[in-house]
Amino acid sequence: MRIRLLCVCVALCAVQLHADDAELLRRVAGEEEKALDEWTELPDERRVAILRAGLRSNDDKVAYLAARALDADCLDLEEVRLQARILVAHAGWVRDPDAVRPGWAQEGRLPIGAPDLPALWKTACSVEDMPGAREQLTYYHRALLPEHIPAIVELLERAGPEVFLALLDTLHLVADYTDEHRATAARGFLYGLERLRAARAGRPAPRMAEIAGDPLSKSAFLVLARACWLGPDGFNVEGAHSLYPPRGWILRWAREVPLATEDVRFLSDVALLVDETGGESEAVSWAIRGLAVLGARDALLDLGDDARAAAGLARLGEPARLLELLREDDSLLPTWLAFDVMPVEARRRRLGEILLDPGFGDIEPLARYDAEAEYGVRIREEDLAWIGANLLAIDAHPERVASYFAQVYPEGMTAEVARDVARRLRDAPADADGLDGILARIEVVDREALVGLLDHWGARGRKEALPALARLGEARHVPAMIATFADGEFDDPSVLGRVRDPRVEEHLRAQAASGNDEAVPALAVLYALPEPLIWFLMDPTEAQRNLVLERDPVGAVLHALRDGIPDAYLSSIARLGLAKDERAVAFLRDLREKRHLGLYWAGTAGLALGGDEEARRELGGVMREGRTWLLDGILDGDVLTMGGEEEWIDLWVSRINTNCCLSYDAISILLDVFPTIPLVHDKFIDFGRKDRFARAWLGRSAFRGSRILGGLLPVPKGG
């Protein structure tokens, strides 16, 4: 009974304390000088606790003050959602979050996610306009998903001039990455185009109801296509993202539009475009294909005597001129235009020239994937196999053979080919670009073949073998390995710690004790520290050095974190979840509990990686809801796929076709897990469907982990 009474007393005190805190916040919100002085004297821990409670206040001023002042990195998922709902309802915050942040509050991460955007846009449209806010309003596109297209289009008519431009920018940013809601997007673009033209002419803005007819009709397509590709009176407005035409979106639609003879003039105009602003080469490809489909031979001849026009003629069954021109013009567009109608021998020869680049002796792996993902060209398996077989048959340079199978045609890297490549590399100079990638491909298909190759190199004094053997954890040529490490010739000295050999341990201990900083992380790895955590030991203190020598590398890492955590280490903090150590788990839980540190989500990510169900639920919610600002500090493939789980890999594949920023994050995460997946960041507009391409690539092979390269690499299914 006594314990129960004590608990009731504590609870009553807490309620009373909360009431006092609420009153203080009301006074702070009213900017009373005495209250502000009292507030700034409170410790951070106390202020964050009061503000978190303030989020749930029935007093709108108090709740809004708390929402403006709090860093979302101090809040759990439910609080983040509440903070976002409060903020997006206020036009001042939507216009400029920095301008309304209290002077005593520090800048933090935004809580905004995909569920909050419709309300944010409605708030922006609830005022007459937001002059100067276009860039800020467009910035929120980082949380944008295809499902938002109907909400954007619905609000275009209601928006003031600046907000309208921001919403039209936002519609472009999502439409260029998706074909979902095409009819709604088309209606939005048609309205946007008419409103832009009305503004230029000094006319009143049109009504959405005036955009009559089927937005997916061919006439609607032609209006938008001309505005995107040909017209000076199109989507040309300066500022923010400059209302660039939705080129990726219109091109994907163009590929599905039925063409007729009356379209020849339009196609001819598009075919003459010069690729200056991005996207015209794909449009030219579509137009020339269209002219060929219509049998418009005269129109193709009128384009001039160049390879593009010749490619169109090749599609009409006249390949001679194209094949002649390709001997002088090695540009890719004409090749991909006519690729599927080229004679088999010419097609294979040309593909070999592109992939193997005989002029420079380089391998061009992305050429294959650009053809498939960007131009919609189907590269035949039999053509790739034919090129590979020829390389093997003519006894081509070993590195050339290895690079081809490693980078361009991994499906052909069977165990037999891996052994053949390893045999060819035995006495070849190992100065090829991407040597680690070549060795890793052999590793995942036939590890014994790779070990045999490296052992052969090591026996002949080739030092490049030794770091690779260390990466594999192979205790071969250990004296030479130690000597190479001592000479500073390991690109990553820590990998020596993978070699579980008494001689290695003895050397590393002696080196660490004598002050060699590079030996400390290597020794930590030998004592089972997860390798992503070695960054905390790259410049070890004496205390850290001693802890590692005492076989306590996790203790050494935690020692480095006693005095704070730099932002640069947030993803590494999350990887503490890999350490099977109660102290690491306790540290991560501490980050969640001590909200004033602003490390709630780093701690949550680490616990999620370690398997904590509550943390997994919260981190999964942040990822699904597209709260991208919260993920910025922990953008790491292992962390944000929770160790490579299929559910989260699938989520990030689905995010490739959303918007430019989220697509960039998704590709970065997938590259962490699958280092050879042929996705690149340099395509700001998606002219193909990269999500479909990524799914096809992932489904084409099985995968195995590589200790040479890290991550998962493809191997032939059943191989």
Residue 571 has pLDDT above 70, yes or no: yes
Quick one: which of 295, 232, 233 has its CA closest to 263? Answer: 295
At 2 the pLDDT is 39
100, 290, 472, 692 from 695: Cα distances, Å = 44, 29, 30, 5
At 3 the pLDDT is 39
Q: Residue 504 in contact with residue 496, Cβ under 8 Å?
A: yes
Residue 70 has pLDDT above 90, yes or no: yes
Q: How far is CA 417 from the centre of its chain?
A: 33
Residue 160 has pLDDT above 70, yes or no: yes
pLDDT bucket at 566, cuts 50 / 70 / 90: low
**For 703, phi and psi rounded to 5 degrees?**
-135, 145
N-term to C-term CA, the chain = 69
Share of the chain above pLDDT 70, in %: 91
Residue 18 has pLDDT above 80, yes or no: no
Q: Which two tokens stand for residue 227?
A: 């505005």
Burial status of residue 124 (CB atoms within 10 A of its CB: 0-12, 13-18, 19 or more): buried
For Cα atoms 59, 65, 68, give the angle at the middle one, nearest 5 degrees. 140
pLDDT digits (tens, 9 = 90+) for 705-718: 999 999 999 888 87
Calpha distance 635→615 (Å, rounded): 16
More confident residue, 548 or 373: 548
Name the least confident of 17-31, 86-100, 221-235, 677-691: 677-691
At 106 the pLDDT is 86
More confident residue, 187 or 271: 187
pLDDT digits (tens, 9 = 90+) for 390-440: 888 887 777 778 778 877 888 888 999 999 989 988 887 665 556 888 899
At 463 the pLDDT is 86
Residue 585 has pLDDT above 60, yes or no: yes
Task: Indicate the residue type of 392.
Answer: L
- H runs (alpha helix) in 176-315: 182-201, 218-229, 247-254, 264-271, 280-293, 297-302, 307-315
For Cα atoms 517, 523, 527, give the angle at the middle one, nearest 5 degrees. 150
Please give the average per-residue pLDDT across 668-679, as a whole number. Answer: 91
At 687 the pLDDT is 62
Residue 202 has pLDDT above 90, yes or no: yes
* Neighbouring C-beta atoms of residue 369, cutoff 10 Å: 19
At 688 the pLDDT is 65
Nearest-10 crossing angle of helices 660-673, 646-654: 150
Please give the average per-residue pLDDT across 472-499, as a whole number. Answer: 94
Name the least confident of 155-164, 570-579, 596-605: 570-579
Residue 511 has pLDDT above 50, yes or no: yes
Residue 572 has pLDDT above 50, yes or no: yes
At 278 the pLDDT is 43
At 235 the pLDDT is 83
Please give the average per-residue pLDDT across 374-382, as a whole number. Answer: 81
Burial status of residue 395 (CB atoms within 10 A of its CB: 0-12, 13-18, 19 or more): exposed
* Neighbouring C-beta atoms of residue 536, cutoff 10 Å: 24
With H, G, I as helix, E, B as strand and everything else as coil, classify residue 714. Answer: strand
At 162 the pLDDT is 93
Residue 67 has pLDDT above 80, yes or no: yes
Quick one: which of 29, 88, 91 has its CA closest to 54? Answer: 29
At 14 the pLDDT is 37
At 552 the pLDDT is 98
Please give the average per-residue pLDDT across 286-315, as a whole number. Answer: 91
pLDDT bucket at 5, cuts 50 / 70 / 90: very low
More confident residue, 20 or 129: 129
pLDDT digits (tens, 9 = 90+) for 626-641: 999 999 988 899 999 9
With H, G, I as helix, E, B as strand and everything else as coil, classify residue 705. Answer: strand
To which residue do tokens 């129109």 refer? 299
With H, G, I as helix, E, B as strand and everything else as coil, classify residue 274. Answer: coil
pLDDT digits (tens, 9 = 90+) for 86-142: 999 999 999 999 999 998 998 899 999 999 999 999 999 999 999 888 889 999 999
Please give the average per-residue pLDDT across 502-524, as a whole number. Answer: 96
Burial status of residue 196 (CB atoms within 10 A of its CB: 0-12, 13-18, 19 or more): buried
At 291 the pLDDT is 95
Mean residue pLDDT across the chain = 88
Quick one: which of 490, 491, 489, 498 has its CA closest to 525? Answer: 498
With H, G, I as helix, E, B as strand and everything else as coil, classify residue 192. Answer: helix
At 168 the pLDDT is 94
At 13 the pLDDT is 40
